């Protein structure tokens, strides 16, 4: 029926309807706060095989629709997450980044406040990339940046060792060296040189959860394959790129 449009992590909170029984299924964050659980238990016991899950208010209409207006055979938009798309790649996954700031970023905020800027994701990214590389997928990330670099790029460069450790190849291309390369309108991931997922951002760099654009038209894809390879050929490997 729908997914949380505000989530930054694979858009996990979701509402489903079983097409056979009509039962509702809710995927959300498991509530562990003892105070909240105590309040709920005032109205009834929570069995050992039950869990209380949290869904944001932005999903209220999806829940109502699941209960009142589900139609047999209806399927959600099915917007796949990065993990799902990467799991289906067999040869390559490339990422082109062209902005000098992305947000909101918990790690960047921590770094600005004097912290390490390294946010623990439980090893999730390393597992995703490691599994892909392990089955023969080459994962490359190219970043086109303005110089002198922004504070965000300075932070991003500092934590890129985590991408490399996970198994990515990362290169940097100063924007002034990208002359003559026909670059696309937005950042993207491209899988197996067949599917391109553009990621549109707001003017201030904020991620827009619903602003993904999926392209498989080979007339478009072939142009992006060519331009990415030109960027990659000119770009500087991460270990050699020095921040200025």
31-68 tens-digit pLDDT: 999 999 999 999 999 998 899 998 888 888 888 888 88
Domain boundaries, the chain: 2-68, 82-240
Is the pTM value of this prediction over 0.85? no
Measured distance CA(130)–CA(134) in Å, rounded: 6
* Matching residue, tokens 């909170």: 13
User: In this predicted model, what pLDDT tens digit does every residue of 114-152 receive, in sequence order?
Assistant: 999 998 888 999 999 999 999 999 999 999 999 999 999
Class of domain 82-240: alpha beta
Phi-psi region of 149 (alpha: psi -120 to 50; beta: other; left: phi over 0): beta
Looking at the DSSP assignment, which residues form a beta bridge with residue 80? none
84 — pLDDT class (breaks 50, 70, 90): confident
pLDDT of residue 208: 79
pLDDT of residue 234: 98
pLDDT of residue 76: 60
pLDDT of residue 14: 85
């Amino acid at each position: 029926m729908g997914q949380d449009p505000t989530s930054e992590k694979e858009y996990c909170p979701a509402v489903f309807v079983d097409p056979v029984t009509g039962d509702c299924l809710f995927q959300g964050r498991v509530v562990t706060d003892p105070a909240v659980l105590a309040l709920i238990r005032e109205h009834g016991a929570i069995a050992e095989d039950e869990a209380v899950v949290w869904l944001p208010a932005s999903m209220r209409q999806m829940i109502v629709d699941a209960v009142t207006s589900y139609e047999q055979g209806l399927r959600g938009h099915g917007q796949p997450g990065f993990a799902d798309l990467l799991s289906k790649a067999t040869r390559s996954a490339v990422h082109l980044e062209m902005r000098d700031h992305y947000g909101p970023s918990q790690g960047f905020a921590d770094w600005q406040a004097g912290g390490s800027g390294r946010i623990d994701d439980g090893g999730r990214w390393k597992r995703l990339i490691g599994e892909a590389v392990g089955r023969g997928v080459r994962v490359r990330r190219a970043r086109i940046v303005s110089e002198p670099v922004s504070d965000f790029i300075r932070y991003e460069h500092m934590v890129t060792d985590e991408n490399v450790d996970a198994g990515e190849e990362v290169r940097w291309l100063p924007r002034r060296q990208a002359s003559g390369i026909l670059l696309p309108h937005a950042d993207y991931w491209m899988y197996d040189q067949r599917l391109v997922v553009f990621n549109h951002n707001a003017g201030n760099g904020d991620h827009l959860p619903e602003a993904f654009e999926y392209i498989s038209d080979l007339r478009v894809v072939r142009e992006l394959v060519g331009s990415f390879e030109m960027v990659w050929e000119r770009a500087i490997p991460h270990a050699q790129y020095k921040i200025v």
